[in-house]
Amino acid sequence: MLSPIVSIVDLTKKFNGLVAVNRLNLTIYRGEIFGFLGPNGAGKTTTIRMICGLIKPTSGSINVAGVDAVRNAEALRSKIGYMAQSFCLYEDLTVEENLKFYSSIYGISGSERGKRIQELLELVRLKEFRNVLAGNLSGGLKQRLALAVAMVHKPEILILDEPTAGIDPPLRREFWRFFKEINREGITIIITTHYMDESENCDRIGLISNGVLIAVDTPTNLKRKAYGGDVVDVTVKGSRNALAEFQRIGSIISVNGSNGLWSVRVAVKNSEETLPVIPTFTEGVGLKLVGVRQVQVSMEDAFVKLVGG
Amino acid sequence: MALHRLTAVIFKEFKQLLRDPRTLAVVLGAPLVFIVSFGMAYGGEIKHVDIALANEDRELFSWYVVQEVSSSKVFKISEYVDSFTGARNLVENGRVYAAIVIPSGFSKSISMLSSGTIYLVITHSSPAISRAVKAEANIVMARLQAKLLNILLKQLGLEALSSSGKTGIQPVKLDIAEISTIGSEIGMFTFYSPLITGLTLQNAALTLAAISVAREKERRTIEQLIMTPITRFEFLMGKFIVYFIFSMLITFISFEILINFFSLVLMGSLIDIVFLNIIFCIGSLTAGIAISTFSKTQMQAIEISTFILLPSAVFCGAIIPPEATPEYARVIIYATPLYHYFDSMINIMVKGMTLTDMPNHLIYLACYIAVTFIFSFKTFTKRIG
């Protein structure tokens, strides 16, 4: 049974008359990895800052883990773990001192604190860097420390604002391993990103553009939505005139080729149903089937399609 | 307020401050250089103090006195007068710091083997100078004592006795007449000392506090911190405590240097001085935090601080006393916290007054603390937009 952990109703934020977030409605469920996907300046950070209670919305309401995030932001603090877009920890303190400071702020002390720090250092693999000043860490290590600090008080919700921005792809993959590991322990993760490919790691994605939430769904469903179904690529030999017949099985996206060898891309309702009937279909319209495959639509294509209308 | 959060902030601030050698050098090193150079320029060994000499006696023995006083390096006889009254007037008018008077009948008394009295008229306007003058007068007396005794014994043909030193005869006696009214001229060193300690304290406390919150904003560390349950009070208080300790340490060292190396004399009670410095330190810190809460960067905070520190030195009453300024400018002086510190310090240090004698200064400084504290508390919110 899905239980909501974040409920947003008609959320709007204006900065000096400029609308940053426009009437956003959304429910995020406990235990999921939810991603806000959108280009820079789309309103992702503003939205999650409002969820955290860092920014007061112009109108609308947000309920986070049973707490009114607009009126009672302070009550949220122990429930949320937050990792900001840029490195926000003390560069003149060591890895361990940063962790100690934040544990003390959350009221974790004594042997419990030592144990928790040990756990976190293991989780983000920073053990051998514990005595290094945070300012001397590389970008990737800094982000790992920030993740550990966000987790120090075992929050219910982990909010990550562009955690992988500016990090090279192998490290990004490593980060996602951490996120999944954390998520497995039952922690809800809300993440923003402008990397289309990594957003597919999320359970659900909310597409944001110009402050408007365009679509919310699983990555697979979003891609289907973009084209109204699955996309298949059929390669045939034969007359060009016969290609129009493909409209009978779906909508034609594109046709490429020449000299009687054609590659037709068609959006179909459901590839599982369509793929088996294609040989009979091509034979019926007088085309010789060369090959057929389902196209893995990239999130980027889907995003462009959905945002572009 | 949770103690564990407050102590976490205190420890963090201490570590950060100790690991920031540049800030330490500016805040701790610069004032010390300032204090030492001030002491070297205005304080230290006292020489060539202007004094007046009145010789009413004009007999044999009086000339020995004149000779001895003239040969002193501390004294510089700048005025010769005829009478005690004349000498006293010069001291009271502030023309000289002290006067030595040889009354008529001085030589006669000595010839008759009784003591001849010399008067030292001295003002309290500069405690350091009056102390030096008294000390030197005693040295001069000791020399005279020996010299005159030798001459006396020679005259009486009792030279043998002089070596034993047990004649029981004391030819000269020093009588010190102190004039306790404040002369128009307080020594430069004494007068400017409270200005220097005040500036040092204000500069250290205000600058430290001003960059504190601004630095957290500039380095964006505030973004992570406001996501925690820490309260505004805990956050600001933790910083406040650390900077208070540092600023008071600097003030303590400043006074130690001025007193021990440059002979600054404090007339009033030490408790009053400590209390006043604590109050002024708190005020400077809360003002600094107020600046910090509305500055976005450290640079901005320092610029705003400079705009407060500079005029406050000009309008603290040390350069232009309020009595010498037009009515409208006086308002600025009265509004300057450093003026209230400076004036109180002069009153305590030089006139030996107590803080209860000048409640207005204390009331003003208390208001200063309250206003800046409330302002910083209102300006600093746990939101970023």
B385/A contact by beta carbon, under 8 A: yes
Residue percentage of chain B with pLDDT more than 70:
91
Give chain A positions within 8 Å (CB) of B5: 104-105, 107
| CB contact B16 to A (< 8 Å) | yes
> Is the domain of B193 the same as that of B172?
no
Rg (CA), chain B: 28
Q: In this structure, are B161 and B203 located in the same domain?
A: no
pLDDT at position B37, please? 86
Q: Is residue B9 part of a domain?
A: no
Same domain membership, residue B243 and residue B125: no
Instruction: Spell out which chain A residues touch chain B, with contact meaning CB-CB distance below 8 angstroms.
Output: 15, 49, 52-56, 73-74, 77-78, 80, 82, 84, 86-93, 97, 101-102, 104-107, 109, 146, 149
What distance in Å separates residue B11's CA from the closest CA in chain A?
8
Whether B366 and B292 map to the same domain: the answer is yes
Last residue of a domain, one of B140, B155, B180: B180
Q: Which residue of B has its CA nearest to A55?
A: B385
Identify the closest residue of chain B to A51 by CA–CA distance: B227
Query: Considering the domain boundaries, does residue B21 fall inside one?
Result: no
Cβ A82–B224 below 8 Å, yes or no? yes
Do B237 and B364 share a domain, yes or no?
yes
Residues 18-57 of B with CB under 8 A from A: 19-20
Residue A70: strand, helix, or coil: coil
CB contact under 8 A, A93 and B15: yes
Q: How far is A29 from B162, CA to CA, in rounded Å?
A: 110
* pLDDT (0 to 100) of residue B169: 67
Which residues in chain A are closer than 8 Å to B212, comparing Cβ atoms? Answer: none
Please indicate whether, in this complex, the C-beta atoms of B16 and A56 are within 8 angstroms of each other: no
**Tens of pLDDT, residues B174-205:** 676 666 544 444 567 788 889 999 999 999 99
Give the distance from residue B18's alpha carbon to the nearest chain A alpha carbon, in angstroms. Answer: 10
The residue to which tokens 């409270």 are assigned: B194
Parallel, antiparallel or unpaired: strands A230-237 and A212-217: unpaired
Closest chain A C-alpha to B306 CA, distance in angstroms: 26
Closest residue in A to B15 (Cα–Cα):
A93
* Domain with B110 in it: 49-180
Q: Which of B145, B180, B215 is the last residue of a domain?
A: B180
Q: How far is A308 from chain B (nearest CA, A)?
A: 31
DSSP state of A133: B
**Domain total in chain B:** 2
pLDDT given for residue B327 in this prediction: 81
- Inter-chain contact A77–B2, Cβ cutoff 8 Å? no
Instruction: List the single residue in B4, B220, B222 with the smallest CB-CB distance to A104.
Output: B4
Shared-domain flag, residues B254 and B112 = no
pLDDT (tens digit per residue) in A153-212: 999 999 999 888 777 888 888 889 889 999 999 999 999 988 888 888 999 999 999 999
CB pairs under 8 A between A and B: 79
Q: Residue B199 domain-assigned?
A: yes
Residue of chain A with shortest Cα separation from B12: A101
Beta carbons of A105 and B384 less than 8 Å apart: no
**In chain A, pLDDT over 90 holds for what percent of residues?**
51
Q: What is the DSSP letter of A199?
A: G
Out of A54, A87, A97, whose CB is closest to B226?
A: A54
User: Given the structure tokens 């196209």, which residue do they identify?
Assistant: A295
Looking at residue B297, its pLDDT comes to 92
B385 vs A contacts (CB less than 8 Å): 15, 49, 54-56
For residue range B9-59, list pLDDT tens digits in order: 999 999 999 998 888 888 778 888 888 888 887 765 667 788 899 999 888
Residues B330 and B199 occupy one common structural domain: yes
d(CA A210, CA B197): 57
B226 contacts in chain A (CB < 8 Å): 54
Exposure string (b/e) for A131-142, b if CB count within 10 Å is 16 or more?
eebbeebeebbb
Partner A contacted by B12 (CB < 8 A): yes
For the beta carbon of residue B260, count every other beta carbon within 10 angstroms.
10
- CA closest to A54 among chain B residues: B383
Strands, sheet with B75-81, edge to edge from the N-terminal-most edge strand: B75-81, B49-55, B98-102, B116-123, B172-179
Instruction: Give B-chain residues touching A49 at CB under 8 angstroms.
Output: 384-385
Are both B223 and B361 inside the same structural domain?
Answer: yes
Q: Extract the tokens encoding B273.
A: 């001085």
Residue B10 lies in a domain: no
Q: Looking at the domain assignment, is residue B2 inside a domain?
A: no
Same structural domain, B106 and B167: yes
Give CA separation, B195 vs B35, B188, B269, B278, in Å: 11, 11, 18, 16
The chain A residue lying nearest B218, using CA atoms, is A88
Cβ neighbours of residue B153 closer than 8 Å, sequence gap 6 or more = B159, B161, B162, B167
Give the gap in angstroms from C-alpha A257 to the nearest C-alpha of chain B. Answer: 55
> Domain holding B115: CATH number?
3.40.1710.10
* B293 and B348 part of one domain: yes
In this prediction the ipTM stands at 0.81
B153 and B74 in a single domain? The answer is: yes
pLDDT digits (tens, 9 = 90+) for A275-289: 888 999 988 888 899
Mean pLDDT for chain A overall: 90
Search chain A and give the residue with CA nearest B229: A77
**A41/B217 Cα distance (integer angstroms):** 22
Q: Tell me whether residue B5 is in a domain.
A: no
Q: Which regions in chain B score pLDDT beneath 50?
A: 181-185
Nearest CA in chain B to A93: B16
CA distances from residue A77 to A72, A89, A104, A150, A239 in whole angstroms, order as listed: 10, 17, 14, 11, 67
Q: Could you report the per-residue pLDDT of A72-113, keeping only the tens digit for each?
A: 888 999 999 999 888 999 999 999 999 999 999 999 988 999
The dihedral through the CA atoms of B223, B224, B228, B231 has a sign that is negative
* Residue B224, domain member (yes or no): yes
B342 and B200 within one domain: yes
Cβ atoms of residues A24 and A12 within 8 Å:
yes
Distance CA A248, CA B130 (A): 115
How far is the alpha carbon of A204 from chain B, nearest alpha carbon, in Å?
25
Of B180, B206, B225, the domain-final residue = B180
In a domain, B307, yes or no: yes
Q: How far is A62 from chain B (nearest CA, A)?
A: 16
